[in-house]
């Protein structure tokens, strides 16, 4: 399976593409069942809502120990981290051959999994989860160039009510100034010059098994979950082989997995 020329052009122009019904719902349910077990047991490393909004840019850029350091039993989990090594089912999805030719097209390079970033199952718990501000994933990553994309799998339906992703099409190609971001490098929605850009946002509901591929510089956000059911999604990041992690940074502190080219 490959992207058509028009699909590839659309990705290059918008910075994202949605692959509808790409994964069987049974496979999604199998991943969900394992993820729920890890959530129930609070199996580290996890990220919780506790202190999430107050963490500094320095922390987000340099932290290497992904354990939550919590002994609380009633924390609100924001994500399961380092899922590649948690379960063979998670690893299998991240190494899935069906999607690899598409990623090779987008990256125009051999595909390499980076376990330093994303490599997570994201959770938005009912009512008590927080929203996520406009941001570029690349802001805390350290690589020789920006040839990185993320793969987002909807493990259940995603809507405005439970925190579906919103994107600003074409923002991965925009030149921004420092003052357009706050001290944590979120794209400010109160800074007047940003409002015209934010007005171009798009939000597209996802159904279980849909996959979104999006560029590391694409501005995106999500609402909090206002429903009575947890929303869970699987996200991992890949880069081109020629894109190198900068030595001495968090990006270089975790293994990379080079995936064979699909012929």
Q: How many domains does the chain have?
A: 1
Q: Is residue 145 part of a domain?
A: yes
Tens of pLDDT, residue by residue over 70-85, are 555 667 788 899 999 9
Of 127 and 122, the one with more pLDDT: 122
Is the pTM above the cut of 0.85? yes
Q: What percent of the chain has pLDDT over 90?
A: 73
Tens of pLDDT, residue by residue over 137-166, are 988 899 999 999 999 999 999 999 999 999
Q: Which domain holds residue 245?
A: 5-258
63 pLDDT tier (thresholds 50, 70, 90): low
Q: What is the pLDDT of residue 6?
A: 96
130 pLDDT tier (thresholds 50, 70, 90): confident
* CATH code of the domain in which 175 resides: 2.60.120.620
Calpha distance 201→219 (Å, rounded): 9
Q: What is the pLDDT of residue 69?
A: 59
Q: Is residue 182 part of a domain?
A: yes
Calpha distance 30→89 (Å, rounded): 8
68 pLDDT tier (thresholds 50, 70, 90): low
pLDDT beyond 80 at 50 = no
Q: Is residue 24 part of a domain?
A: yes
Q: What is the pLDDT of residue 53?
A: 53
DSSP string for residues in the chain: ----HHHHHHHHHHSEEEETT-S-HHHHHHHHHHHHHHHHTTPSSEEESTTGGG--HHHHHH----------SS--EEEE--GGGT-HHHHHHHT-TTTHHHHHHHHTS-EEEESSS--EEEEE-TTTPPPEEEE-GGGG--BSS--EEEEEEESS-B-TTTT-EEE-TTGGG----GGGB-TT--B-SSSGGGHHHHTT-EE--B-TT-EEEEETT--EEE----SSS-EEEEEEEEEETT--BPTTSGGGSS-EEEPPPP-
The alpha carbon dihedral of 65, 71, 77, 81 has a sign of: positive
Q: Is residue 263 part of a domain?
A: no
Q: Is residue 33 part of a domain?
A: yes
Q: What is the pLDDT of residue 71?
A: 59
Calpha distance 57→63 (Å, rounded): 10
Q: Are 80 and 38 in contact (CB under 8 A)?
A: yes
Give 73: exposed, middle or buried? Use CB within 10 Å, 0-12, 13-18, 19+.
Answer: exposed
Residues 166, 172, 173, 175, Cα dihedral to 10°? 90
Q: Is residue 46 part of a domain?
A: yes
């Amino acid at each position: 399976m490959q992207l058509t020329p028009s699909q590839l052009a659309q990705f290059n122009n918008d910075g994202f593409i949605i692959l509808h019904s790409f994964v069987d719902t049974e496979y999604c349910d199998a991943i969900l069942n394992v993820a729920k077990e890890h959530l129930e047991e609070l199996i580290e490393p996890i990220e919780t809502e506790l202190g999430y909004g107050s963490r500094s840019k320095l922390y987000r850029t340099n932290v290497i120990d992904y354990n939550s350091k919590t002994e609380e039993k009633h924390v609100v989990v924001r994500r399961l981290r380092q899922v590649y090594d948690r379960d063979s089912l998670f690893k299998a999805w991240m190494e899935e051959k069906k999607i690899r030719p598409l990623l090779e097209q987008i990256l125009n390079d051999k595909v390499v999994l980076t376990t330093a970033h994303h490599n997570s199952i994201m959770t938005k718990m009912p009512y008590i989860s927080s929203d996520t501000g406009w941001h570029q994933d690349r802001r805390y990553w350290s690589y020789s160039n920006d040839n990185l994309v993320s793969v987002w799998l909807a493990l259940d339906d995603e809507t405005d009510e439970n925190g579906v992703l919103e994107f600003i099409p074409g923002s991965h190609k925009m030149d921004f100034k420092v003052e357009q971001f706050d001290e944590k490098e979120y794209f400010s929605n109160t800074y007047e010059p940003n409002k015209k850009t934010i007005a171009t946002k798009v939000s597209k509901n996802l159904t279980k098994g849909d996959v979104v591929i999006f560029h590391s510089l694409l501005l995106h956000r999500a609402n909090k979950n206002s429903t009575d059911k947890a929303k869970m999604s699987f996200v991992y990041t890949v880069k081109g082989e020629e894109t190198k992690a900068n030595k001495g940074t968090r990006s270089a502190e975790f293994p990379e997995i080079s995936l064979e080219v699909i012929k």
